[in-house]
Amino acid sequence: ALRLQPPQAVRVSAGVPCAAVSQGAPQRVALGELVRESRAAPLAKRSARRKRGEAKERARQEGAVLREARPLADAHALPFEWLLVLDVEATCDARGRPWEHEIIEFPVVALNLRTLQVEHEFHSFVRPTANQTLTPFCRKLTGITQEQVDAAPPLDAVLREFDGWLRERGLVNTAEARSFAFGTDGHFDCQFFVDGECSRKGIPKAEYFDKWVNLKQLFADHYKVRRCKIAKMLERQGMRFEGRLHSGIDDSRNIARIAAQLVRDGSPVYINEGLPPRQRFLDL
């Protein structure tokens, strides 16, 4: 920052061109120029610090997620017709101890990106196998009861049922064309919950879970705002949350509303995240 000299060293005169202040005699300096110089450096430093902080926070939250972030050249073109909004619920505990999360609710809301209408829904509770008893905190947070998960199929059976549900509706991705992609509120659903549990338990998982549309990031990029939670995104779009927060199916329906409004507001919809490359160990 420009250090202002005492009155006897610098004479400030409005409207007079700035003169050099390095000479011994008192000099005349334009008031506006002096103020601009004194403010410029601190503002630049604050801006740089803020950008570095935002970059660090993004890297921390996204972890090892591979970010593709390749928007379409034509904002109105659709790389796929269906956005399958997925927002699972998982076992949890109020205490900060390490916890092996298991999916206990698997909801999918199918948004037609041409009509911007929800035309199909898939919903199933899931029976956990490692921590079979839900904690009081989990039951209160999600509204899911012990009886609901006890009567539900395990994750492998739910994923098989879901795959059949997709095929019945003609929602199939091929090497030549993609008919759908998942849309999520962040990267946790596909990466940490679905892929994480399947990896731990050796459950076969379809490749269509490996890449997805991070709608939270898409929202921030399109509206030029910081990433925020579902209720705040709805508020920014002039809407309010409908249903019960932390109910998987209600969260998914509201995220679908956010996605539809994004499209109405001119945002392209594209796959912007995926699983990181798998590590491969070679015998030497």
Q: Which residues are known catalytic residues?
A: 89, 246
Residue 197 tokens read as 């549990």
Residue 107 tokens read as 């909801």
Residues with Cβ within 8 Å of residue 38, at least 6 apart in sequence: 1, 2, 4
Q: Look at strands 211-214 and 180-184 and give their pairing.
A: parallel
Phi-psi region of 170 (alpha: psi -120 to 50; beta: other; left: phi over 0): left
Is residue 66 within a helix (H) or strand (E), and if so which, with residue range? strand 66-67
**Of 150, 271, 157, the residue nearest 215 (C-alpha):** 271
> CA separation (Å) from 11 to 25, 33, 239?
10, 13, 57
